[in-house]
Amino acid sequence: MSTPSLGQLLLTGVPGLELDSDSAAAFRRIQPGGFILFGRNIQSPGQLRRLIDDLREVSVVEPIITIDQEGGRVSRLKLLGNEPPNANQLRDKGDLSLIARHGAITGRLLRMFGFNLDLCPVLDISFDDEADNSLRGRCYGNDVAQVIRNAGIFNEALKAEGVLSCGKHFPGYSRAPLDAHHELPVIALSREELDAHELAVFRHFADKVDSMMIGHGFYPALENTQTPSSLSRTVITDLLRGEQRFRGLVMTDDLDMGAILNHYGLEETIRLAICAGNDLAMICHRVDCVEQALGFLETVPRPELDRALENVAAFKSKMVPPDPWDEAEFRRRDAEIWDLRVDLFGKERAGDRSPEDGKRSPVETY
């Protein structure tokens, strides 16, 4: 049996609304393990399904097709229909059945287009709902128990519809003093504080989510060199895989964020990411660098490559094929979001925009 392409260890963005011939040829050469889509890739329902079908067609191994479909401002599919409520709004309502409906509707919508992984639930605790670190509106609770309960209900409902889940942002990002899209935050909490709060949530979900995303932060209590968590073997291999016994797929957050880009070249980033214990290195925006990243994977020790390839293959064995395309069925599923909004906000407020919608991060990744 032939060895899988090392491209399986790359999760890449896609340039535009359709797969042009140059991109198709590049992806055929690289054979990325997966593709992550953003607003730049979405224009109409039929167009999005065609793009995903084309990405699957150029892939020798069935690819991961993923997106950030959380709710509120981090809802890429709202470009095609209704905006789902965000985690804070569902949390504040306190009706667990609405959270379950949200998870199920999200899964059904994603299956229509061919997505097999949703980059959620967010497992961060909101200690301050107004914190300016890109998490506003995105957290399911203000304490450990609330996050475990609410995010757990969403996670179970999403997975029941055949879409795999991703817990983020390990090891806990909500107390970051600044946004990692711009610079590496220092999260100066003691190990005791982290164990009691952030790490308690992730420990609970270690056998409940299919993958984990590692955030970009420096945690002096966890790492004695100023290495971002997403590139830290201490954080990923020793803590997440060792102490917390997580056995699923591990991926970096976007390596195009300022927290990484301002401090590391691409070769060093790729080598450190895989050697730290990540299975997928995520490059969302510098798509023209993905082929170069493939070459840099050759510098990674073979045991690390084999471990990552094995984990990617195990994850892919759980993926479910897309539902048959039917635009009328998409409209029916999208209408379920409107019904959810009515039941959450009431008819008078169901059409209101999210209060945080005008406070987006300047980049598309979260």
Asked, for residue 21, whether it belongs to a domain, the answer is yes
Give yes or no for residue 70 having a pLDDT over 80: yes
The domain that contains 73 carries what CATH number? 3.20.20.300
Name the phi and psi angles at 216, rounded to 5. -100, 100
- Rounded to whole angstroms, how far apart are CA atoms 50 and 153? 32
- Rounded to whole angstroms, how far apart are CA atoms 99 and 55? 31
Asked, for residue 177, whether it belongs to a domain, the answer is yes
Q: Higher-confidence residue: 179 or 274?
A: 274
Q: Please say whether the beta carbons of 131 and 172 come within 8 A.
A: no
Q: Please say whether the beta carbons of 269 and 289 come within 8 A.
A: no
Q: What is the pLDDT at residue 197?
A: 98
Question: What is the residue-averaged pLDDT of the chain?
Answer: 94
Q: What is the pLDDT at residue 1?
A: 36
Asked, for residue 354, whether it belongs to a domain, the answer is no
What is the count of structural domains for the chain?
Answer: 1
Asked, for residue 30, whether it belongs to a domain, the answer is yes
- Rounded to whole angstroms, how far apart are CA atoms 335 and 244? 40
Range of the domain at 327: 8-345
- Rounded to whole angstroms, how far apart are CA atoms 103 and 68? 13
Asked, for residue 152, whether it belongs to a domain, the answer is yes
The pLDDT tens digits for 288-303 are 999 999 999 999 999 9
- Rounded to whole angstroms, how far apart are CA atoms 16 and 281? 21
Asked, for residue 215, whether it belongs to a domain, the answer is yes
Q: What is the pLDDT at residue 151?
A: 98
Asked, for residue 355, whether it belongs to a domain, the answer is no
Q: What is the pLDDT at residue 352?
A: 78
Give yes or no for residue 204 having a pLDDT over 80: yes
Q: Higher-confidence residue: 359 or 94?
A: 94
Q: Which two tokens stand for residue 200?
A: 């308690």
The pLDDT tens digits for 26-59 are 999 999 999 999 999 999 999 999 999 999 999 9
The pLDDT tens digits for 115-162 are 999 999 999 999 999 887 789 999 999 999 999 999 999 999 999 999
Give yes or no for residue 2 having a pLDDT over 60: no
Q: What is the pLDDT at residue 360?
A: 44
Asked, for residue 365, whether it belongs to a domain, the answer is no
- Rounded to whole angstroms, how far apart are CA atoms 358 and 81? 18
Q: What is the pLDDT at residue 356?
A: 53
The residue assigned the tokens 């965000």 is 86
Q: Higher-confidence residue: 358 or 309?
A: 309
The pLDDT tens digits for 306-334 are 999 999 999 999 999 999 999 999 999 99
Angle, vertex CA 12, rays to CA 213 and CA 275, nearest 5: 55
Among 17-21, 258-262, 357-361, the range with the most confident prediction by mean pLDDT is 17-21
